[in-house]
Amino acid sequence: MSEIPTIAEAARLFAARRLSPVELTRACLDRIERLDGRLHAFVHPTPERALADARAAEAAIMKGEALGPLHGVPIGLKDIVDTRGIPTTCQSKILQDNIPEADAACAERLAAAGTVLMGKTTTHEFADGGPSFDLPQPPARNPWNPEHFTAGSSSGTGAAVAAGMILGGIGTDTGGSIRGPAALCGIAGLKPTYGLVSRAGVAPAAWSLDHIGPMAWTAEDCAIMLEALAGHDPRDPASAERPVPDYTAQLGRGIKGVRIGVIRHFHEADHPVGAAARRGIEEGAATLRELGAEIRDVKLSPLQDWVACGQLISLTERAAAYEEWARTRLHDFSARVQNRLMLGALVSGVDYVQASRRRRELRAELQGAMQGLDAILTAAAPNEAPKIEAVPIWDTFQPPNFTMPFNLVGYPAISVCSGFGELGLPVAVQFVGHPFDEPRLLAIADACEKASGHRARRPELAL
């Protein structure tokens, strides 16, 4: 098969007996075999497990015992997600021999939904920094042009979804690690509300900023995956006790009357974006208006304030989480992670608490700004992906990213493709919703995505 279906399409094709899970899995394995020598999207493919999962799914579906739309769907798990009996190295020299005894909560839930595990996808070391060339395995590369960066840290999942090696996968997001790779790889990536998806069994980057979420070709596929992933888990102290709604229920019902704010100063003044990214935002706003949404401008504190606050919290929590290894094995980390661990040591206790006080103020500010709005539209990334060698080693001090603000406040945010730039690489926009309002957020992203037509284009090397 040459076409790469979305998760929603695959479920329909399975139900109609026009495609089988084994056939789809073999096609994805063929793509991994053909492309991964160049893309490095996987650190540990699991072809035998994949075929076993696919055969089991196929047998169940043939017996009329389909578990739902993810049954038989090939997926990948970022290599900081614990997987029972399968190496989970966090792309670090320190955990090269780590084979967990239990699955992380998100791995459990996707397995229970009948997914086919294709393997562990490439990550920046412990979901931090990157790209690094001093790790046990090379960094992932962008399927739209392998000379270019994927962003990170869920770099392998982003590359693998874009290249059709998997239909969906797990990413984690502490400052943009789902939405960044989704943006640069031209896919959809959802950072759900803080506490909606359990973090149990996933290596931390910064506890109070960490989110687990789906990455897939479309917003609709993210909704399908979120349905399986969401729900209370007592093993995660931040896990929310709330009923899980139907995340696909509002898709396709139209967005007439939806009120959307655009934070123009983020991408026009605070961190001016490239022409293609700006065009994507303008066209996205115009599309939403045509679909009946009301658009108005929103003003917040400068992007630099949000990102400085998030960075200080992130650096400090990471330095605390990895303190023992930093003290005993500092030089076993990549150069980039060593830099960040040392920066974390420079943050005083008072600095950390001042950042936390600023965090409360910024959260109140966003709450106020979103009164009377259903969602916010902003940039997801400043431009097309840079060349992989061009990413500066001290990326902490680069112009601020557009994703960290929503880790800081825990609001759900999704990145979707908004077009292509001069180099033929994708650009993206980001939508932000109210806490636990993923059904509406996904409906807005889905409507924009379907109206734009950008989902018809795949990286050439995947075809």
Whose Cβ is closer to another protein: residue 164's or residue 176's? Answer: 176
The residue among 135, 117, 114 whose CA lies nearest residue 126 is: 135
129 touches 91 (CB < 8 A): no
Whose Cβ is closer to another protein: residue 363's or residue 458's? Answer: 363
Whose Cβ is closer to another protein: residue 199's or residue 358's? Answer: 358
**Distance set, CA 60 to CA 238, 319, 378 (Å):** 35, 46, 43
Strand 259-262 to strand 375-379: parallel, antiparallel, or no bridges (unpaired)? parallel
Q: Contacts with another protein in 234-293 (CB under 8 A)?
A: 241
The distance in angstroms from the start CA to the end CA of the chain is 10
DSSP 330-377: GGGS-HHHHHHHHHHHHS-HHHHHHHHHHHHHHHHHHHHHTTT-SEEE
Stretch that binds another protein, among 37-45, 216-224, 278-286, 336-344 (CB under 8 A): 336-344
337 interacts with another protein by CB under 8 A: no
Binding another protein (rule: CB under 8 A), the pick from 354, 437, 440, 458 is 354
359 interacts with another protein by CB under 8 A: yes
395 interacts with another protein by CB under 8 A: no
Q: How far is CA 258 from the centre of its chain?
A: 25
Whose Cβ is closer to another protein: residue 98's or residue 304's? Answer: 304
Phi, psi values for residue 310, rounded to 5°: -65, -40
463 interacts with another protein by CB under 8 A: no
Q: How near is the Cβ of 360 to another protein at its closest, in Å?
A: 4
Binding another protein (rule: CB under 8 A), the pick from 319, 337, 442, 445 is 319
Binding another protein (rule: CB under 8 A), the pick from 62, 330, 390, 463 is 330
DSSP 4-69: ---HHHHHHHHHTTSS-HHHHHHHHHHHHHHHHHHH--EEEE-HHHHHHHHHHHHHHHHTT---ST
443 touches 253 (CB < 8 A): yes
Give the pair of three-digit tokens for residue 360: 């409360």
The residue among 210, 121, 196 whose CA lies nearest residue 158 is: 121
Whose Cβ is closer to another protein: residue 16's or residue 350's? Answer: 350
Q: Distance between CA 230 and CA 211 in Å, rounded? A: 12
Catalytic, out of 92, 154, 155, 177 = 177
Binding another protein (rule: CB under 8 A), the pick from 17, 18, 63, 327 is 327
391 interacts with another protein by CB under 8 A: no
Whose Cβ is closer to another protein: residue 247's or residue 333's? Answer: 333
Binding another protein (rule: CB under 8 A), the pick from 161, 341, 377, 444 is 341
Report the amino acid identity of residue 363. Answer: R
* Residue 177 bears catalytic tag: yes
Q: What residues pair up with 38 in beta bridges, in sequence order? A: none
Q: Distance between CA 110 and CA 112 in Å, rounded? A: 5
- Sign of the C-alpha dihedral computed for residues 370, 437, 303 and 405 taken in this order: positive
231 interacts with another protein by CB under 8 A: no
| Count of residues interacting with another protein (CB under 8 A) | 35
Q: How near is the Cβ of 329 to another protein at its closest, in Å?
A: 10
- Sign of the C-alpha dihedral computed for residues 355, 358, 364 and 367 taken in this order: negative
| Sheet-wide strand order for 74-78 | 42-45, 116-121, 74-78, 168-173, 211-216, 188-191, 413-420, 426-433, 375-379, 259-262, 294-297
137 interacts with another protein by CB under 8 A: no
326 interacts with another protein by CB under 8 A: yes
* Residue 2 bears catalytic tag: no
Q: How near is the Cβ of 244 to another protein at its closest, in Å?
A: 17
46 interacts with another protein by CB under 8 A: no
Alpha-carbon dihedral 136, 141, 147, 153, rounded to 10 degrees: -80
Give the pair of three-digit tokens for residue 367: 């709450």
The residue among 156, 44, 37, 41 whose CA lies nearest residue 97 is: 44
356 interacts with another protein by CB under 8 A: yes
Q: What residues pair up with 297 in beta bridges, in sequence order? A: 262
355 interacts with another protein by CB under 8 A: yes
Binding another protein (rule: CB under 8 A), the pick from 79, 128, 305, 438 is 305
Stretch that binds another protein, among 11-19, 135-143, 196-204, 311-319 (CB under 8 A): 311-319
Q: How near is the Cβ of 95 to another protein at its closest, in Å?
A: 20
Binding another protein (rule: CB under 8 A), the pick from 59, 99, 102, 346 is 346
* Residue 314 bears catalytic tag: no
Stretch that binds another protein, among 23-31, 66-74, 121-129, 302-310 (CB under 8 A): 302-310
360 interacts with another protein by CB under 8 A: yes
Q: How near is the Cβ of 290 to another protein at its closest, in Å?
A: 39
453 touches 218 (CB < 8 A): no
Catalytic, out of 78, 132, 154, 334 = 78
Contacts with another protein by CB under 8 A lie at: 208, 241, 304-305, 308-309, 311-312, 319, 323, 326-327, 330, 338-339, 341-343, 345-347, 351, 353-361, 363, 394, 396-397
The catalytic residue positions are 78, 153, 177
